[in-house]
């Protein structure tokens, strides 16, 4: 899919004037890590809409259309109910809204675990429908065969180890992983298996910091930390979390703004002006000539 195209910026608020540029590629992300070192850490945030992508794109190397949209956008209790169609629609919007970042789309629960062929069918649907550059799937060594199957058939794959939200029912909750030796060894082993299978990067989520560092040192491909360590090769956060859109966020999130208060304050002011009949005013109405 072309990364530059013409938009009618005069008629749609959804399409501000674009800034055409060369989009980053999956190989460029993979090559950030050379001889075990990533000199320039990789910046990734989640995005679910075209406008959100437009605002984030210039500052990020990758935009993740995460299945976290189930909770963030749809108010679902977990990521489990998210569908392929939901992911494809939001990923397409993010692709339309971005020019620079590599767009990665999550494969939802149940769309890839059955077999490598099932995973290929789902991944092919997502990439064809959205124009995204890569897919992300959860799971470690057990998914290595699937990752290799996809990569050999031209589908770039980002892995995901540690706390894997789609497996929350098996894990027993959203708690940090890797606190005992056996689990720590498994996380590092999972990362190594995914990298060997061809994953171009691996998200390391919710693990104790020494294990995140060990996993980063153990693999040739970049690691993207979330609740892990600054020593990972990059970082990702759910954008709404770091903007302060929700009352409760994981302890590993840093709030860079409190947008929820801004929105609530603006709505309160609007409501008071409507009730006082001070809005709309002369500037917002059409008067006879």
CATH number of the domain enclosing 46: 3.20.20.60
Identify how many contiguous H helices and E strands the chain contains and give both numbers. 11, 10
Specify if 33 maps to a domain: yes
Specify if 184 maps to a domain: yes
Query: What tens digit of pLDDT does each residue of 115-142 get?
Result: 999 999 999 999 999 999 999 999 999 9
Specify if 277 maps to a domain: no
Distance of CA 287 to the CA centre of its chain: 47
Specify if 13 maps to a domain: no
Q: Are 91 and 53 in contact (CB under 8 A)?
A: no
Q: Which of 205, 261, 282, 283 is catalytic?
A: 205
Dist CA 4 CA 21 (whole Å): 8
Which has more pLDDT, 105 or 183? 105
Is beta strand 102-106 parallel, antiparallel or unpaired with respect to 42-46? unpaired
Task: Give the H/E segment covering residue 150.
Answer: helix 144-152
Alpha helices in 174-247 (DSSP H): 181-197, 209-218, 239-242
Tell me what pLDDT residue 19 has: 62
Specify if 35 maps to a domain: yes
Q: Which domain holds residue 52?
A: 26-242
Dist CA 24 CA 58 (whole Å): 11
Query: What tens digit of pLDDT does each residue of 28-73 get?
Result: 999 999 999 999 999 999 999 999 999 999 999 999 999 999 999 9
Instruction: Cite the annotated binding site for 3-methyl-2-oxobutanoate by residue number.
Output: 67-68, 106, 136
Query: What tens digit of pLDDT does each residue of 137-180 get?
Result: 999 999 999 999 999 999 999 999 998 767 555 555 556 665 78
Q: What is the mean pLDDT of the chain?
A: 91
Catalytic annotation present for 283: no
Cα separations in angstroms, 59 against 44, 50, 70, 224: 9, 15, 25, 16
Instruction: Cite the annotated binding site for Mg(2+) by residue number.
Output: 67, 106, 138
Specify if 252 maps to a domain: no
Residue 157: name the closest of 139, 137, 142 by CA: 137
pTM listed for this prediction: 0.91
Specify if 144 maps to a domain: yes
Specify if 279 maps to a domain: no
Number of domain units in the chain:
1
């Amino acid at each position: 899919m072309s990364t530059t195209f013409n938009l009618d910026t005069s008629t749609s608020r959804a399409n501000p004037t674009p800034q055409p540029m060369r989009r980053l590629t999956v190989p460029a992300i993979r090559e950030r890590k050379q001889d075990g070192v990533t000199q320039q850490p990789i910046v990734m945030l989640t995005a679910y809409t075209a406008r959100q992508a437009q605002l984030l794109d210039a500052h990020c190397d990758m935009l993740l259309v995460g299945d976290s949209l189930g909770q963030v956008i749809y108010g679902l209790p977990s990521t489990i109910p998210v569908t392929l169609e939901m992911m494809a629609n939001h990923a397409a919007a993010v692709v339309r809204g971005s020019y620079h970042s590599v767009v990665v789309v999550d494969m939802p629960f149940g769309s890839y675990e059955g077999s490598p062929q099932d995973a290929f069918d789902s991944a092919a649907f997502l990439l064809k429908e959205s124009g995204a550059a890569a897919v992300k799937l959860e799971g470690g060594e057990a998914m290595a065969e699937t990752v290799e199957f996809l990569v050999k058939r031209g589908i770039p794959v980002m892995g995901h180890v540690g706390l894997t939200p789609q497996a929350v029912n098996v894990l027993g909750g959203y708690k940090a992983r890797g606190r005992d030796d056996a689990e720590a060894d498994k996380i590092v082993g999972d990362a190594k298996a995914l990298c060997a299978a061809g994953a171009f990067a691996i998200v390391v989520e919710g693990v104790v910091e020494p294990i995140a560092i060990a996993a980063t040192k153990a693999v040739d491909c970049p690691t993207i930390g979330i609740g892990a360590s600054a020593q990972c090769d990059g970082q990702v956060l759910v954008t709404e979390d770091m903007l302060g859109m929700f009352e409760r966020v994981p302890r590993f999130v840093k709030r860079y703004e409190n947008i929820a208060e801004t929105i609530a304050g603006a709505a309160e002011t609007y409501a008071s002006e409507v009730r006082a009949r001070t809005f709309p005013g002369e500037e917002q109405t059409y008067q006879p000539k």
